[in-house]
Structure 1
Amino acid sequence: MNIGMIGLGRMGANMAQRLTGGGHQVVGFDPKPDARKALESKGAHSADSLAALVAALHAPRALWLMVPAGDITDSTLKQLLPLLAPGDTVIDGGNSNYKDTMRRAQTFAAQQIHYIDCGTSGGVWGLAEGYSLMIGGEAAAVERMRPIFETLAPAKDQGWGRVGPVGSGHFTKMIHNGIEYGMMQAYAEGFSILRHKQEFALDLHEVAEIWRYGSVVRSWLLDLTAAALAKNPSMTGIAPYVADSGEGRWTVDEAIDLNVPAPVITQSLIERLRSRDNDSYSDKLLSAMRNEFGGHPIKSE
């Protein structure tokens, strides 16, 4: 199958490489010349503009976007739309907000262009292990793209599927990432408690390896945690700053809108925000309050 890949960051380039290895013809575009050159070294072709990319594809065209959510996606789609023709298909494989996806799909549908949203999980391991693909869109349009999804997934019949209409793929991926927040927070807190029990001098990597087999808390995330602990058990050189890319916030917003209690996911998001406050005013004020009502000592900086 002839596929256009837009966005050749690490994940986009890995997906293009997996598609090429699966026998598909891939043409990629990225504004960075080095990214295009790297793609060519992996057996794919590149184009130096969106217009050149579209021209290099056979009609009806299939184009896969792997660009950051938000304005960059909107800008790219605005440039892409006039270059396409009825019957073409655009797949957004990034982490777009599902509400943006539904809006964009309406714009493309007005031009008789199919729009598919594909929540994509797998990170840097997807090239070797395959990607988990949560797909939203018209059933017939998704079926036409089946060869692409079968190649990117861990197996032809595993790890991918159409979950519903346009927007449902990104919605499902959003909730997936919210769950991920909670799981990560639970592992982090548990291992922190283990580390603070200094009288036992626990080997945290050994504990993680034990839990990886037979335990009810075993998971791929635990596998990755074990690998991180093997490399750096004391987390030396790592700042206690945890970023977020938006999906956790959107999940919490959605839970509130739907009147669904989600305390674990919400608290895990709050903990990420807290990690960025190196000079916590709220903590200082709490200390001052304790001093005011109870005369408790204040620790100076």
Structure 2
Amino acid sequence: MNTFDFGIVGLGVMGRNLLLNIASNKFAAAGLDLDTEKVNSLQQEANADHKIEATTDVKHFASLIQRPRAIMLLVPAGKPVDSAIQSLLPHLEEGDIIIDGGNTYFTDTDRRFLELAEKGIHFFGMGISGGEKGARFGPSMMPGGDKKAYERLRPIFEAIAAKVDGEPCVEYLGNGSAGNYVKMVHNGIEYGIMQLISEIYDLMKRGYNLDEDTIQKTFEEWNQGDLKSYLIEITGHILKQKDEDGSRLINQISDWAKSKGTGKWTSQNAMDLQVPVPTIDAAVVMRDMSKSKPERIEAAKILTWNANQQDVKTSEAIASLKDTLFFAILITYAQGLAQLKTASKEYNYELNLETVTKIWRGGCIIRADVLEDFRKAFAANADLPNILLNSDIAKKLTDTQAGTRNVIQFAVQKGLPIAGLMNSLAYFDAYRSENLPTNLIQAQRDYFGAHTYERIDAPGVFHTQWND
């Protein structure tokens, strides 16, 4: 009793694999699940080198873990988390630590943090990215909560995390719900990049009429250069996969995209903070649009467009598409990082964006070589309000914007939907505009509602009696 280093509640895919990862790194790990089959399955999967014990008994589970206990919850977000906490509390003591490793909305974490603090229990909200394989062999982890209590968790988390240049892809991020918030924005960026890749794929296929082998090989080649990233890598794998009849599996997969809500949360909170994230917004909207399949089938018959035939060399098309995707991905990261910057001030997280970008370099779904450039930028200037203001990143954008504009013009003439790419360019053009036409909006608001406005030639607030 009281000899196990760590406990996990919830032995589904993520919980089982994280527990095996912990045991593989020479820590004793206890598991709890109400499903006897999952408990038995874990015991069978563990080998002789693993110190693992799994149970369906909450009291026995709590008695296994050394004090102060460190227990991670890997159960569905919402009421299941509260239920798991309530079942554990009678068996915990002051100073014990509970970690919520799910995709929990950050305000729920804030509530639980305060409720458990009153009982002397430390609560962490920790984002985990990397999927099933990452959980087993090295995820990126984003913990937030009590900084002193994190020292109890650090040795285990650093051992099981993905490594980049020998550095673990986990670090204490900030106060309260900082960990869940960073993971939420991570997922918003993920939504954006996935949407951009799908639009580039569609342009290759329906716009430039590239054959399937060329499309697949192009993504493989792109993963060897500036675009090297997990999502580009798996796209190359996906496009190679064959169905049972030997045809490409991708052509048999429905375009009705599902989601779990984390991208929507990012967009909703960005609006609350008044931080523009239009590429992420577009990604959420297009998943919603995908669900209207019956309507789209009917609309395709009557909302027609006769596109002009445009002859473009394949090599030129691929070069422009590469520039466009790289440009838009940079913009998507910039939007998410700007949201984190504002949220850190609003919610007192005290985030360090160098740390955030550093732990995203490995293990997580949005890992990419370009994150090292972002890390260097924030290391050089921690107060950078937007990554686009870094001279090296700015040069990458200016070098690729010509190809981006050409591709977007081509897509518009072809009548292909590219909401993500369009919104990325619109964000870039708005951000680099010293003057925006919103002065007219200010005048309109004052005209119909006497909402007042500011002038550029004098301080103060003004109202005009406009002439009808």
Point out where structure 2 has 5 or more consecutive residues left out of the alignment: 47-51, 243-247, 304-468
| Partner residue, 1:195 | 205
Query: Which protein is richer in strand relative to its size?
Result: 1
Instruction: State the Cα distance separating 1:148 from its structure 2 match.
Output: 1.8
| Partner residue, 2:16 | 13
Measure the CA separation in 2 of the matches of 1:253 and 1:201.
Answer: 39
Q: Deviations over 1:83-122 (max 9, x none)?
A: 2110111111111111000100111111101111111101
How has the CA–CA distance of structure 1 residues 241 and 86 changed in structure 2, closer, same or farther, with 3 Å as cutoff? Answer: same
| Partner residue, 2:395 | none
1:62 to 66, 70, 77: 70
Measure the CA separation in 1 of the matches of 2:208 and 2:59.
Answer: 61
Q: Deviations over 1:121-171 (max 9, x none)?
A: 010221454110111011111112111211221137321111101200000
1:1-301 pair list within 5 angstroms: 2-43=5-46, 44-127=52-135, 129-155=137-163, 157-197=167-207, 199-203=209-213, 204-214=215-225, 216-232=226-242, 233=248, 235-280=250-295
Measure the CA separation in 1 of the matches of 2:181 and 2:210.
Answer: 44
SS at match of 1:119: strand
Measure the CA separation in 2 of the matches of 1:234 and 1:207.
Answer: 18
SS at match of 1:163: coil
Measure the CA separation in 2 of the matches of 1:194 and 1:53.
Answer: 54
TM-score scaled by length of structure 2: 0.58
Q: Deviations over 1:202-258 (max 9, x none)?
A: 5221111111112x2221111111111111445143222221112111101111001
SS at match of 2:285: helix
Measure the CA separation in 2 of the matches of 1:285 and 1:223.
Answer: 32
Instruction: State the Cα distance separating 1:284 from its structure 2 match.
Output: 5.2
Measure the CA separation in 1 of the matches of 2:18 and 2:162.
Answer: 12
SS at match of 1:161: coil
The answer to whether the 8 Å contact 2:144/2:178 transfers is yes
SS at match of 1:164: coil
Point out where structure 1 has 5 or more consecutive residues left out of the alignment: 289-301
Instruction: State the Cα distance separating 1:6 from its structure 2 match.
Output: 0.4
How has the CA–CA distance of structure 1 residues 245 and 206 changed in structure 2, closer, same or farther, with 3 Å as cutoff? Answer: same
TM-score scaled by length of structure 1: 0.89
Instruction: Give the letter for the 1:273 counterpart.
Output: D
SS at match of 1:172: helix
Instruction: State the Cα distance separating 1:55 from its structure 2 match.
Output: 2.1
Q: Deviations over 1:156-199 (max 9, x none)?
A: 73211111012000000000000000000000110111112475
The structure that has the greater radius of gyration is 2
Measure the CA separation in 2 of the matches of 1:34 and 1:124.
Answer: 19
Measure the CA separation in 1 of the matches of 2:218 and 2:189.
Answer: 23
SS at match of 2:293: coil
How has the CA–CA distance of structure 1 residues 181 and 58 changed in structure 2, closer, same or farther, with 3 Å as cutoff? Answer: same
Instruction: Give the letter for the 1:249 counterpart.
Output: K
The answer to whether the 8 Å contact 1:212/1:222 transfers is yes
How has the CA–CA distance of structure 1 residues 200 and 56 changed in structure 2, closer, same or farther, with 3 Å as cutoff? Answer: closer
| Partner residue, 2:307 | none
Measure the CA separation in 2 of the matches of 1:41 and 1:154.
Answer: 26
SS at match of 2:194: helix
Measure the CA separation in 2 of the matches of 1:60 and 1:82.
Answer: 15
Structure ranking higher on relative contact order (CA contacts 8 Å, 6+ apart): 2
Instruction: Give the letter for the 1:274 counterpart.
Output: M
Aligned-residue identity in percent: 33
* Count, aligned residues: 288
The answer to whether the 8 Å contact 1:194/1:202 transfers is no
Instruction: Give the letter for the 2:119 counterpart.
Output: Q
The answer to whether the 8 Å contact 2:159/2:168 transfers is no
| Partner residue, 2:420 | none
The answer to whether the 8 Å contact 1:18/1:151 transfers is no
The answer to whether the 8 Å contact 2:17/2:136 transfers is no
SS at match of 1:68: coil
SS at match of 1:160: coil
Instruction: Give the letter for the 1:205 counterpart.
Output: Q
